[in-house]
């Protein structure tokens, strides 16, 4: 019992430190000026700024002043979420820099991870962060089955997406 309480305390303190360091607290609610992203394929919804428009060069990407959001499935081959996160972090182009931080979160009852870039992130990725969430049911496209969804966005819009994320 004491070990469990100690672990809970450590996790709580870690969350507070990460949220203060990175300037977000995802417990609040989204305000006005947002549209609802809703995908039957991914069975998810969340809010994004109303002045963003769908980018025709991508399947599920919205861009606008100050940011973007893009949604895709991610191949996991029955691997646990932490392995999937490391797969994303360790791609050869290092989109999150050499030493990104990973924050454990729960999104609508499902395990998720937020990848926060390190200070050496390449400017090409423009403050990009990622959310990887375990789907409540697999996303199926043709013969492929995907157990995780990935959401790329910019740091400024991360809090809003975390606040409003729901499975549908």
pLDDT (tens digit per residue) in 18-33: 444 443 433 334 457 9
Note the pLDDT of residue 18.
Answer: 43
State pTM to two decimals. Answer: 0.80
Note the pLDDT of residue 1.
Answer: 52
Distance CA 156, CA 35 (A): 16
Note the pLDDT of residue 127.
Answer: 86
Question: How many other C-beta atoms lie within 10 A of the C-beta of residue 18?
Answer: 17
Parts of the chain with a pLDDT under 50:
2-30
Q: What is the pLDDT of residues 53-75, one digit of tens each?
A: 999 999 999 999 889 999 999 98
The alpha carbon dihedral of 138, 165, 66, 81 has a sign of negative
DSSP conformation letters of the chain: -HHHHHHHHHHHHHHHHHHHHHT--TTS---SSEEEEEETTTTEEEEEETT-EE-TTSSSEEEETTEEEEEEEE--TT--HHHHHHHHHTSTT-TT-SS-EEEEEEETTEEEEEEE--TT--GGGTTEEEEEEEEEEEEEETTEEEEEEEEEEEHHHHHHHHHH-EE-
Q: What is the pLDDT of residues 96-106, one digit of tens each?
A: 999 999 999 99
């Amino acid at each position: 019992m004491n070990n469990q309480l100690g672990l809970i305390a450590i996790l709580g303190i870690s969350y507070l430190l990460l949220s203060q360091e990175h300037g977000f607290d995802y417990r609040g609610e989204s305000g006005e000026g947002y549209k609802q992203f809703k995908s039957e394929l991914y069975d998810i919804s969340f809010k994004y700024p109303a002045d963003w428009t769908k980018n025709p060069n991508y399947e599920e990407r919205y861009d606008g002043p100050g940011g973007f959001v893009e949604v895709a499935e991610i191949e996991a081959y029955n691997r646990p979420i932490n392995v999937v996160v490391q797969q994303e972090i360790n791609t050869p182009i290092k989109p999150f820099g050499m030493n990104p931080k990973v924050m454990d979160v729960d999104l609508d009852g499902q395990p998720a991870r937020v990848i926060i870039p390190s200070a050496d992130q390449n400017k090409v990725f423009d403050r990009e962060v990622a959310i990887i969430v375990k789907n409540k049911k697999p996303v199926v496209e043709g013969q492929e089955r995907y157990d995780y969804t990935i959401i790329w966005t910019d740091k400024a819009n991360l809090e809003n997406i975390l606040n409003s994320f729901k499975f549908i």
